[in-house]
Each structure stands twice: as structure tokens, then as C-alpha cells.
Structure 1
Amino acid sequence: MMLKRFFSKGSLLALAFMFILVAALVGCSSDSGGSSSDGGSSNSGGSSSEGSSSGGDGEWAGQTVKVQLIGDFSMEDSTDPITGVKTPGLHVLKEEFESQHPGATVEFIIMPWEGYTEKTQAMLTSKEADVYQMPGIADFAAQGLLEPLQPYIDADDEFSLDIFIDNQVDGWKALPPESSELDIFGLPFLGDARFITYDKQLFDEWGVEYLSEYPTMEEITEKAQKMTGTNPVTGEQNYGIWFRGDWSSAFTLINAAEGLGGKWGTGFAWDEIEFQFNSPEMLQGLNWLLDMQELAPEGIVSNQGSEKWLTKDNNIAIMLNQGPGDLVEQTYAQGLEDRIAIAQEFKDDSGKGGLFAGSPITIAKDSENKDLAWEWLKFATSDFAQKYVYETGAMPAVKSAAEWDNVKEVSELMNPVFEAMSTPYTPRYPWGSAQPRFILTSEIEAALTGERSAEEALQKAQKESTEWLENR
């Protein structure tokens, strides 16, 4: 009755139509609130952040950044069945990032290491993510698939490259298409390094002086020879040295050559690279590895013989080309903190040498969420995220890590790791994730198994790698 007093029949119909239209518009707005700014659904089919949706108000309302990660990441917390150590899930990073960026949503797409290069290529082509963990940065930057970061760094007064451990930024520099100037396409995210590890208890039992901080090949040879045989205290068989004769052998050999003043070759762009796999230093290095093989347990080519390493029953004195991995955690879990020590890999005359390893994070060139992606890169390299990296068993890449309480507690191992991270060969070997690595590895295996002499193996590696380069 009240409506009839104020409106005619025609105006009532118009008002009803207006209410219906407003309701429809509100419904559409609500439905689109969870979509990313590129028009796609905020819940990707390959995403590991279940049930996430951007919502609420804030500077980043309605925006989603999709982050690809490689390895054993998980959204949920997990517990190691052996050590009982609890590892936090990625939900910790998701919650903190979204808290710092009101209205934004972060989604994770996790892939295994197996076949990661091909899968990453496919993802970049189909624009599946905004941010990528990118160990093969050189190849993807050269294809024009990655966003240069220097403009973002220059424009952001709150960010500085000084936060990173020395050489970590330089190690991930790469060449853009049609340029001869290295540029920054990635920021260090997961740190890594290679070094020489040894068991002080075995040295003591044999009466051998500990390794120097920067041992030479001659020093390694002398001390490994002295500790191969029957342990004078335990009566057990000991071996002076061990190294992997399979997938990492190319890097072990290159480092030996660096210690002799040689190098893998020259150049960075594919059309400028010249390999030196058959150089005198490489030949001397491979012959040295063949000599060291005689002081190691059988089976190094098939990654066998080191089963007792980092246990109380360890029977190996020196470990070449060791990575941090679970080194610190396992050393302390086994009660070996007074036994295990670290020396640096072989260095050239400038004090550099060894594999530059780890993973940077990058922004896809085709991302339509680049501002939010840059925010994720800054967050991923902040102390909060880098502490998460350390707590999940990986190495942080920032200088401040040396001052964290949980790092100081294990500083005798961590400080040499940080040293190793600051002195590798940089920029990263451009062929480190490409076919020449596998060609060289195969030929080292052929020498270690006696299929070819060291000289024949390296000549073949040089020839096949050069042919691959010419036909690439």
C-alpha cells in the first residue's frame, strides 16, 4: 500500500528492473574477485595452494602471482621419520606474503627436478606462471623469455643488491638476445656451493695433519695416500678419498683444472664459446682423478662406496666436491660435530674456482603481473623467506644469515660454506645444464672404467662438444 502511494504502476516496474540489474552486477563482481589480472582463474590446475583465492580489500586486491618452484617443496608441514625434525610447509610463505600485500594471492606450482628444463620451457610458452625458480637461467634469458631486473632494482629505493653473499648476483647474470653484455635476470634464492669435507677423527687416528683451508692437489694426494689401508687404531679398512664418478664428475674435473691454472674454456654466448676440454690442465686433472680412484672404495662410477660417510662408522678420510645438502643436519644428528670439517675447493690465481650452484628466481617476460612478481622476488630474498629456506634444509643466499642464532650454533660448518659460496667461478658455467656437460661426464666415466685413456676421453669430449656447439 505504501508503494502505491508514492509510485505509479510503470514506475514500480522500472524500480523492480533496476533492483534486478544491480543484483546481477553485484553477482558478476563477486565472481570475478578471485581472478588474476591476466583474466585467468586464480586457482591454476597445476597449483599446489589448494582453495586459495584473492579477496578482500587492499593495494593488491584481485591480483594473483603464480610461483613455480622445483624440488621437494610441500604446502603442508612434514616430519622427517628418522630425525624427527619438523619442516614447515610453503603455507608459511603464502600467509606472510599475503599479509604483507593486502588483497594479493600467491599460488605455488611445484615440479620435480626430473625433466625440469623441458617442463619449465613448456610453462613459459603457455604463460603458466609469473615467477620461476630458474637454475638454467642462461638458456632462457637468451631466448628472451625472462624480464630484465635492473630497471626494477634501480627504481626501488627499499631494495639493495648488497644483501647478498659476494658473487651470488654475478653468478646468475646472463646474456639477453642479441647482446654481449651480461645482465641481471634473476635474484639469488637458494644458495649452494661445493667444497672438500674431511673426517678429523680418521686424520687423528692415522697421525695425519688436518687439511689446510685451501689445499692443493699435492696435499690431497699425500694425505689420502697415508690414510688408505688398515686403520692403526681400529683395525678397519680405510680409504683416503671418495668422489662421485657419475653425474657430478665434470665439475670435479673442471675444478681440478682450475687449481692447475686452467679453465673449461672461454666465452659466454653460445656463438662465442670455445671449449678447452682437452687442455694440458684438464688432462693432468683427469689423470689425477684416476690416481685418486685407486685410493677410493670400488664403485665410484655407480655412486657406491660412500655408504658409511657421515656416520660414526665412516671409513673415508676426504670427500671431494661435497655440497651442503643435509651436511649440517646429518652431522649434528649423528653426533659428528667434532669430527667433520670443511676445506675449500681448488682455486685459481685470482682466488676463484669451483661450481657456482643453487637457484635464482626470475620473472617471466610475458607475465601480466610484473609489479606483484617483483614484490614476490623481494619477499623471497628477505630474511623471513631466507630463514624459511634454511629451516627447510637449503642454503640461504644473504649475508645476514651468518648472524642468525640457529646459524651461529653451527658456525664451524656454516662459515666455510658461506666462504665457498663467495668464491666460485662466476658467472655460472654456461654449459652447466646443457649437452656439453653430459658429453664430458660420459667421457670421464669412460676413463674411470678403463674404456678409454684420459687423453682419448678428453679429445672425444672436445670434439663432440664442439660439434654440438656448431650444430646447436
Structure 2
Amino acid sequence: MKKFKMSLLLMVVLLLLIFITACSSNDDAGGDTESDSTETNSEGESDSEGASEGGENWEGQTINVQLIGDFNMEDTTDPITGEKTKGLQELKVKFESEHPGATVEFIIMPWEGYTEKTQAMITSGEADVYQMPGIADFAAQGVLEPIQPWIDKDDEFSTDIFIENQMEGWMALGPDSTELDVYGLPFLGDARFIAYDKQLFDEWGVEYLSDYPTREEVAEKAKQMTGKNPETGEQNYGIWFRGDWSSAFTLINLAEGQNGQWGTGFAWDEIEFQFDSPEMQSGLEWLLEMQEFAPEGLVSNQGQEKWLTKDNNIGIMLNQGPGDTIMPAYAQGLGDRIGIAQEFKNDEGVGGMFAGSPITMAKDSEHKELAWEWMKFATGEDMQKYIFEEATGVPAVKAVETWESYAEVENLMKPTVEAMGTPWTPRYPWASSQPRFILTSEVEAALTGERSPQEAVEKAQKESVEWLENR
């Protein structure tokens, strides 16, 4: 009996040795290539190495996703309107159900100070995916994963889903790049435009703004609507623009409308500012003229309190965005009262700041395959619809024009989508850096009479060049 057990044991060991040898020889013959890592899924289709990490292989993997702005995890109810807004929890459940075993956690931060907070997060490796308007700065630091290789190897993903110019707008330079490259995917769309109140135009007997107005047209109509409203007797103002936070971009757009520009270059060692150009000075002089037809408080973001109310007293609003115009207008029952015209364009039809947010992948992410899966999910219709219908944001995908929710606000969304296709691209590389705040400060100084327009643009140029040299 002992001999029989011993013989049986030897036979089992021998069979195991033969099986291991056969497997080893097969591996050696195939070589260590990507094609060897393909597997066959339940439908008989081959999965790439990245896709093979899906399903049960996602088990135990967690990615942290940083988002900026008006996002909430749980459903919320507006205390005034009673309208309910869905939270991110629903999308979290859907993504995790599509990637069994995986977990996605969100880190939500406000817009205030987002650049510094993002820098701290990425330095300490707190997240795998970031919403990153300041992509140019971070790509140059070498802390972001290049995305083009992920696009190239994923046959199921196409950048054709995005609205025109959205991919180009977020291209950036890496630390060793000589050509612009893809470091992110369009996530939160945005645009800048000129909004106006049709009712006030009608009451004053002024023709609506043209689709592509000049500054001369805007100035003329703003002047005509400043004073006592002929129908209501209330004081009206022809125009309003923010004189602090976004004033640098308003001024740059005025220069573009004169075929000027902010400067040239994209890499920091190639940038040449033109903040003191004749077009910039002329644009700032125009803003000072428009200040005469605006309510007081421009430099402290005041005077527009009645905008998007039934008692609105302002005719034209410069440098507006969809988030603070489209949904609020409809929420107040004013969707048909508001009109949208394009910002000032150069002779090639280009002008205005490229705005919004891309999503990027951290270079040091330990779960890049899962991070890529999230990036695709975030640019898919589920997440993009959520942005539009629940977070009062603007999608970056063409599919928006097929949604019922788009049809309900088409008169305002159609020109907004058009505006998204005609801004200056790629995004101003200094848009989230010190030159922006230098220029903003000088616009404020001119608006408050502290400096003349010429002195202001010359000082902005000098300080921005010095910053660039000492960067």
C-alpha cells in the first residue's frame, strides 16, 4: 500500500513537471510582446492589455478624481425654487458597476484658489485625475501623463466626439517638448460672449446687436440705452463689464477685435508679450469710455445685481459665460428675453479666450489604466449630460445638439456652441499665471483713475516681462 501511494505521488509530480515545461516553452516561443497579452472576452473578441485589466481585474483598485466648481456628491434641493439636483453619487455607482471591483472617489474644490490647491495636491500625489484649466503650467512641470498614446491604442475612443477646437485648445508643451501635444481631454466646455436684454432694446427702440458686433456698434447702442427708460421711467445703463477678475480677458478680446493679440509663443522661453501694443491701449481707452454708460462698482463686481431679473436695468453685458447666463435665465423665466452675440473677432473670425476645463492624468498615478477608463467615462454622454442638466455647465461634446435638454434652451445654446468653436487656440498659456493678474491689476488701476491707459499697459508689459525673465 505504501509503495502504491509513493508511485502515485511520483506520477503526479512528473505530470506537473511536464505541464510546467510545456507552458514555459509556449511563452518563450511567443516572445514578450503586447499582442501576447490579448485575451478573449465572453463574446469571442480580443481585449488589449489595458482592457484585460477590466472586469474582475479591477478588484481593489481605487482612483481619486479632483473636480472644481459646483459639484455635489449627494442630491440637493434649491431652497428657493425647490428644484432637485442630482449628485455625483449616481455617476459613481454607474462607473463602478461598469468596472467591477473598482472604486472612484471625488475630491471637490471651489474655484477660489484652485491653481494653488491643485499644485499642492499634485505635488503630494493626492489624485489620479485632475480637472485642470491651468494645463499649460502643469504639463511644463512634467507632472502630467501624455494622453495621445492612450488615444492611439484605444480603438473604441475617438476625439471626433468633441466640439470643434476643443482638443486643439487644450494642447500644451511638456518639459522637453518642442511641439504642442495632448495632455488632457475636453471635459467642461465654456465660452465667452456678449449677452443683451432684448426687452430693454425694444423699450428704447434700439435694434438688437448683430451676431458679430464691432466695438463701435456696441458703444453706440450702449450710449442710446443709458438714462431714463422711455417706457418705465427707471434708470437704465447701456453696458456692464466686470472690472476685476476677468478684465484682462475683456481687454485682450478688444485688442483681437482690432486684429491685435496678446503676444506670441507658447513655451515660456519663447513667449513675447504685447500688452503695451496700440491695440491694447486703444482697447483700454474704450473700456474707460464705456464706464460712462455703466453703473458704479465695476472694479468691485457690483452694479449688475438686477441682471437676469425681471427688473433688469442693463442693456449689454460683456464677457459673459453660459454658466452665469443660460440656465439662470431660464430658471428666472427669461430665456426668450436674453440674446447672445459673439465676442469681438479679428478678420479671420477668431477672438475671445478659450475657456473651460480639461481632465488630465497624473504622471505618478498608480492606476493609469483605470484613470484612462474614467477619462473616457467623463467625456461620454452620461457624464456630459450630467454637467449640462445638473451642474449647469456646458458639455464639450457634439452630441449636446441632439439632446432634448439642449432643444429647450437652443436659442441661447446654439450661439454658445458657435462661440466655443471660434476662440483663440490654444488657450492663452499665461491664463492661469501671474501675467494675467498683473494685467488685471493694471486694468483696475486705469478704471479707478490711478493710471492712464498708456501708463497701465506699459506697466503691465514691464512687470510681465520681468516675471517671465525671473520665472
TM-score range (shorter-chain normalised) is 0.7 to 0.9
* 1:71 match: 69
SS at match of 1:123: helix
Cα drift, residue 333 of structure 1: 2.2
Is the aligned partner of 1:355 residue 2:324? no
SS at match of 1:58: helix
Among residues 313, 319, 324, which one is paired with 1:321 in the alignment? 319
* 2:407 match: 408
* 2:203 match: 205
CA distance in 1, matches of 2:314, 2:209: 14
* 1:53 match: none
Cα drift, residue 168 of structure 1: 0.7
8 Å Cα contact 1:353-1:423 kept in structure 2: yes
8 Å Cα contact 1:189-1:360 kept in structure 2: yes
8 Å Cα contact 1:192-1:323 kept in structure 2: yes
1:418-438 alpha-carbon deviations (Å, 9 max, x no partner): 111111111111111111111
Cα drift, residue 311 of structure 1: 0.5
CA distance in 2, matches of 1:308, 1:122: 38
Structure 1 pair 443–433 and aligned structure 2 pair: CA distance change class (3 A): same
8 Å Cα contact 2:55-2:99 kept in structure 1: no
Cα drift, residue 111 of structure 1: 2.0
Among residues 366, 369, 375, which one is paired with 2:367 in the alignment? 369
Deviates more, 1:132-141 or 1:69-78: 69-78
Structure 1 pair 337–113 and aligned structure 2 pair: CA distance change class (3 A): closer
Structure 1 length as normaliser, TM-score?
0.87
CA distance in 2, matches of 1:278, 1:65: 46
Is the aligned partner of 1:107 residue 2:105? yes
Where do 5+ consecutive residues of structure 2 fail to align? 1-53
Structure 1 pair 262–57 and aligned structure 2 pair: CA distance change class (3 A): closer
Is the aligned partner of 1:299 residue 2:297? yes
Cα drift, residue 118 of structure 1: 2.0
CA distance in 2, matches of 1:348, 1:141: 29
8 Å Cα contact 1:59-1:101 kept in structure 2: no
Cα drift, residue 92 of structure 1: 1.2
CA distance in 1, matches of 2:190, 2:431: 14
* 1:422 match: 421
- Identity score, percent: 76
Structure 2 length as normaliser, TM-score?
0.87
* 1:261 match: 259
1:133-157 alpha-carbon deviations (Å, 9 max, x no partner): 1111101100100000111101111
CA distance in 2, matches of 1:298, 1:384: 43
Give the aligned CA root-mean-square deviation in angstroms. Answer: 1.2
Question: What is the letter of the counterpart of residue 467 of structure 1?
Answer: E
Cα drift, residue 72 of structure 1: 2.9
1:223-250 alpha-carbon deviations (Å, 9 max, x no partner): 1111111111111111110000011000
CA distance in 2, matches of 1:113, 1:299: 22
1:323-369 alpha-carbon deviations (Å, 9 max, x no partner): 11142222122221221010000111221110111111011011111
CA distance in 2, matches of 1:111, 1:330: 22
Among residues 295, 307, 310, which one is paired with 1:309 in the alignment? 307
8 Å Cα contact 1:195-1:420 kept in structure 2: yes
SS at match of 1:235: coil
1:127-184 alpha-carbon deviations (Å, 9 max, x no partner): 2111111111101100100000111101111100010010111111100112220000
Cα drift, residue 57 of structure 1: 6.8
* 1:436 match: 435
Within 5 A, what are the aligned runs for 1:28-39?
none
CA distance in 1, matches of 2:111, 2:205: 42
Q: How many residues align?
A: 417
CA distance in 1, matches of 2:462, 2:450: 17
Where do 5+ consecutive residues of structure 1 fail to align? 1-55
Within 5 A, what are the aligned runs for 1:62-101?
62-101=60-99
Within 5 A, what are the aligned runs for 1:18-417?
58-391=56-389, 392-417=391-416
1:247-285 alpha-carbon deviations (Å, 9 max, x no partner): 100000000000000000000011110100010100110
Cα drift, residue 125 of structure 1: 1.9
Q: Which runs of 4+ in 1 moved over 3 A?
A: none
Question: What is the letter of the counterpart of residue 454 of structure 1?
Answer: P
CA distance in 2, matches of 1:136, 1:337: 32
